[in-house]
Each structure stands twice: as C-alpha cells, then as structure tokens.
C-alpha cells in the first residue's frame, strides 16, 4: 500500500473510533458511527465538487487546496495537464514546420482521409491539380481529379509503383502520383510534374524508331549485294574471300535482327494494344510451335527440349506478341545452356493465375544482375552474348509484352545451376476451353 494512503486511514480511524466510544457511553454506538461516516462522506463529496469545478474551468488556475488523497489527485491531474500542454505545443510546432516544408515543395502534397476526402494540401496542388484552398477541403479527391488511371490506382490499394496521368488543368501537362498509406486509413498523395521527362522519353523513342526504320533500306541493299557476291564463282573459289563474305553476311543478319527488335520495342512502347488483336489464345499451341523452332535452334548443341502444357488453359491476349515474348525466353535458355543441357517449358495455372515457365540448366545469373536484366542492351556476359548472336533486347521485349498483358516476369536463378524465367498472368485473363479446341489466334 502506498504511503499516501496512511493519512487517509488515520483520518478514518480518528473519525470512527471517537464516535464509537461516545456512542458506547450514550448507548447509541451505531447511530453515532453512521453519523460520523455521513460527515466523512459529505467532506469527500465537497472535495470532489471542488475538483470537478476546477476541471470544468479547464484547469488553468492552480488546483484547489484540498487535503489528503484529493490533494495528490489534483496535483497528478495538474502535472498531466502540464505535460499534455507541452506535448501539444511541441506537436503544433512540428506540424507547423511540416506544413511549411510541404508548402515549399515543388511537388503537390495532398492528405486524404478514409473516404478519400481532402484534409489538407500544399500550394503546389493548385497549379498541378487545380485544387482550391477554401472550397475543396472536405471534398473527395477523385471528384476533382477524375482521370480513370488515377481513380483506378487510388481504389486498387496497390501503391508500390507510381501512376502517370494528364493534369486536369491541361492535357499537355503530364503528372506522376504516388500514394503512401499512414495512420488510420489516411493516405499521403504526392504528385510531381514529369512532363519534361515524358517528352524526353518520347523523343528517345521517336529517335530510335526513326533511325531503326531508316537503317532497313541500306541493310536490305547491303544484304542483297552480299548474297550476289556469295554466289559469284570467283568469290567462292577463294576460301579467304568466301569466308570474308560469309562473315559480312552474318554481321548484316545480326544488324537486321537488331533493327527488327528495336522497331518492335518502339511499337510496344508507343502504341496501345488494339482491341481487335486481343482474343483467346491457345498457349499450348503456341508452345508447341515454339518447341519445334527451339529444336531447330538447339540442333547444333544437342539440347533436349521438353514441355508440359495444360491444353485447356487459354489466355486472352495478342498471340503474335506472346509468341515473340515466349520465343525470346526459350532462345535465351538455349543460348546460355551448355551442350546437351535440358530446357523445360511449362504452362499451368494455380490460385494466383496462369504461368509460363522456362527452366534451363545454364550458367545462371548473379543476384546483382537480376534487377537490371530486363533493361535494353544490358548484358550479364557481354562476350558470350555477342558470340551467340544476341541483340540484348530480348528480355526488354518480354517485359513490355507482359506489361501490355497485365503480367510480370519473375526470375529465379543460381549461378552454375541454371535459371527459371516465369511469366505470371492474372486470373482475369484466363479462359477454360476443351483441349481439342483449336487456337483462334495462332
């Protein structure tokens, strides 16, 4: 028991014991003890009344001059209120600094509540999102910024990647938004102007597409002359000359493949998937065609190509793009596998969606290379890639094709033990059909 309760016990004893003794002398001990208890209760009620009045007044003045435990209670409340006032002042100062810092940011910062209502935003939100300081606080952000990409992003709840959309002020102003959940259902929305980066990226894509297109004509002419030279009797009679022409033809063919890959990448980046090109695709049929082509590619190395496909599992998408992506994965598996190594293709589904996997027994990939391996022209082993005739664009094409199909590329690899490249498709793109049904989009 705390020492602060000892005076209260003495108070109780000094009130009841004399009342009982006097009651014994008068022959009415019960009534006198009851009267003493009533007086003590009235005294406590008076102390409680004074404390309540002090609390109702806000506790600005000093606590009431109480006695006993009531004094300790009043002092504890006073100390607690003082600490709370200091904490509030510190939080108010911190909040003021945060608002000053957020107001100075060139990016728009918007705080929204559980239902998407705007609680606060900085000055930059006005020129970027057309938000008005007085009128728009309390309104739903999606009622003011109505672009489908942004509203879908906000509703999805998956904020690992930002979303780009045009500004509500101007279609020519490109914005990038990112959401950070915090607190109890609140979200911090940051929006930045990426118009310049968007224009630079468009210029780069246009430049690559135009240069690639312009290279096709001279390459066609060079290839034609090389084919003519290769059939010439004089050239064929000289081993050195014939070898030189053959090497020139090989390099011209490599340049042709590079140009074709660049043009395909440019098309994937700049054009949206046409609705009439998206239909149910028999992936099992695609894999069968790819398997036949893979056997031709691996004939020199003697790789064994095996597959396991669910023929009733179809996918809504573009067959030509899917064929290109899957063939790139299989070609890479053959290119980086040792002679005689197995390449296993698998098409299946589970609770998370549909999956196309390519497993090889090749050299594997170091962990530090995996995050960058889908970048264009990024090579893990530059000498081996060039010697095998790769363009360095295959996995970049795979990434863009999968993005157009709402899918992602998953890579698992151990150096020296091979790799597994898996294309994960959402369940929304799956269709089930009888195994005997033929592909609509081969």
Which class for 417: exposed (0-12), middle (13-18), buried (19 or more C-beta within 10 A)?
exposed
Backbone torsions φ then ψ of 439, nearest 5 degrees: -65, 140
pLDDT band at 9; cut points 50, 70, 90: low
The reported pLDDT for the residue numbered 441 is 39
pLDDT in the model for residue 272: 66
**Torsion sign across C-alpha atoms 349, 398, 289, 382:** negative
SS3 of 108, please?
strand
Q: Which CATH superfamily is domain 105-193 in?
A: PAS domain (3.30.450.20)
Tell me yes or no: is domain 197-270 CATH 1.10.287.130.
Answer: yes
Kindly give the pairing relationship between strand 108-112 and strand 186-193. Answer: antiparallel
Distance CA 282, CA 274 (A): 19
Q: Give the range among 219-233, 264-278, 351-365, 378-392 with minimum mean pLDDT.
A: 378-392
Average pLDDT over residues 163-184: 89
Highest mean pLDDT among 122-136, 344-358, 369-383: 344-358
- Closest listed residue to residue 209, CA positions, set 266, 261, 259: 266
Local confidence band at 159 (pLDDT 50, 70, 90 cut-offs): confident
Q: Interior CA angle at 365 toward 363 and 368, to 5°?
A: 155
pLDDT: which is higher, 380 or 404: 404
CA distance 192 to 109: 9
pLDDT the model gives residue 197: 86
Residue 262, pLDDT above cutoff 50: yes
Which fold does the domain 277-432 belong to in CATH? Heat Shock Protein 90 (3.30.565)
Q: What is the mean pLDDT of residues 207-214?
A: 77
Rg (CA), the chain: 39
Q: Do 380 and 373 touch, CB atoms closer than 8 A?
A: yes
* Residue 261 structure tokens: 């890959």
- Among residues of the chain, what percentage have pLDDT more than 70? 89
As a whole number, mean pLDDT of residues 351-363 equals 90
Per-residue pLDDT reduced to its tens digit, 403-440: 888 899 999 988 888 899 999 999 989 888 876 444 43
Section 192-202 average pLDDT: 86
pLDDT at 390: 60
Is residue 349 within 8 A of residue 355, CB to CB? The reply is: yes
- State the Cα–Cα distance between residues 41 and 289, nearest whole angstrom: 96
Q: What is the pLDDT, as a whole number, of residue 438?
A: 41
What is the length of the chain? 442
55 vs 118, more confident: 118
3-state secondary structure of 441: coil
Residue 113 has pLDDT above 80, yes or no: yes
Between residues 314 and 227, the one the model is more confident about: 314
Residue 384: pLDDT above 60? no
Indicate whether 219 pLDDT > 80: yes
Is the pLDDT higher at 381 or at 408? Answer: 408
* Strands 313-317 vs 279-282: parallel, antiparallel or unpaired: antiparallel
For the cut 70, the answer to whether the pLDDT of residue 283 exceeds it is yes
Half-sphere exposure of 369 (CA within 13 A, CB side): 16
User: What integer best gives the mean pLDDT of the chain?
Assistant: 81
Lookup result for tokens 């109780």: 12
The domain spans of the chain are: 3-93, 105-193, 197-270, 277-432
CA-CA distance, 67 to 86, in Å (whole number)?
A: 28
pLDDT at 139 over 70: yes
What integer pLDDT is reported at residue 178 of this predicted model?
93
| Nearest one of 112, 99, 174 to 138, comparing CA atoms | 112
pLDDT at 320 over 80: yes
- What does the pLDDT read at residue 439? 40
Taking a C-beta distance cutoff of 8 angstroms, is the pair 144, 129 a contact? yes
> CA-CA distance, 76 to 82, in Å (whole number)?
10
Q: What per-residue confidence (pLDDT) applies to 177?
A: 93
The pLDDT assigned to 440 comes to 38
291 has pLDDT over 70: yes
pLDDT of residue 114 exceeding 70, the answer is yes
**Per-residue pLDDT at 357 exceeds 90:** yes
How many CA atoms within 13 Å lie on the side-chain side of 242? 9
Q: How far is 171 from 388, CA to CA, in rounded Å?
A: 46
């Amino acid at each position: 028991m705390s020492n602060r309760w000892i005076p209260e016990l003495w108070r109780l004893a000094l009130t009841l014991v004399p009342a009982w003794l006097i009651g014994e002398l008068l022959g009415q001990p019960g009534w006198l003890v009851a009267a003493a208890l009533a007086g003590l209760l009235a005294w406590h009620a008076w102390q409680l009344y004074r404390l309540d009045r002090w609390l109702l007044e806000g506790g600005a003045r000093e606590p009431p001059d109480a006695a006993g435990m009531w004094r300790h209670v009043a002092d504890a409340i006073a100390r607690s209120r003082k600490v709370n006032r200091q904490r509030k002042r510190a939080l108010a100062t911190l909040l003021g600094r945060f608002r000053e810092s957020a107001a100075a940011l060139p990016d728009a910062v918007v705080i929204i509540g559980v239902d998407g209502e705007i609680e606060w935003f900085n000055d930059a939100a006005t020129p970027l999102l057309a938000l008005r300081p007085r009128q728009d606080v309390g309104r739903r952000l999606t009622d003011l910024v109505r672009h489908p990409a942004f509203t879908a992003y906000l509703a999805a709840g998956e904020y690992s990647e930002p979303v780009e959309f045009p500004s509500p002020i101007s279609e020519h102003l490109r914005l990038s938004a990112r959401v950070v959940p915090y607190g109890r259902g609140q979200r911090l929305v940051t929006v930045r102007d990426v118009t310049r980066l968007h224009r630079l990226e468009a210029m780069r894509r246009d430049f690559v597409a135009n240069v690639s297109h312009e290279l096709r004509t001279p390459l066609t002419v060079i290839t034609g002359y090389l084919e003519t030279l290769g059939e010439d009797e004089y050239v064929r009679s000289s081993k050195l000359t014939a070898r030189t022409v053959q090497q020139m033809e090989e390099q011209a063919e490599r340049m042709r493949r590079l140009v074709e890959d660049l043009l395909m990448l440019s098309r994937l980046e700049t054009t949206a998937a046409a609705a009439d090109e998206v239909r149910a695709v028999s992936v099992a049929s695609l894999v069968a065609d790819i398997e036949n082509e893979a056997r031709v590619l691996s004939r020199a190395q003697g790789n064994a190509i095996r597959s396991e496909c669910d023929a009733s599992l179809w996918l809504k998408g573009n067959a030509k793009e899917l064929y290109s992506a899957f063939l790139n994965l299989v070609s890479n598996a053959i290119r980086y596998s040792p002679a005689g190594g197995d390449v296993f293709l698998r098409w299946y589904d589970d609770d998370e969606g549909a999956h196309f996997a390519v497993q090889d027994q090749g050299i594997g990939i170091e962990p530090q290379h995996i995050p960058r391996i889908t970048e264009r022209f990024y090579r893990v082993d530059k000498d081996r890639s060039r010697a095998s005739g790769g363009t360095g664009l295959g996995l970049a094409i795979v990434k863009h094709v999968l993005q157009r199909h709402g899918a992602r590329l998953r890579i698992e690899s151990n150096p020296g033990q091979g790799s597994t490249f898996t294309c994960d498709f959402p369940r929304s793109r799956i269709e089930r059909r009888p195994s005997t049904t033929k592909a609509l989009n081969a």
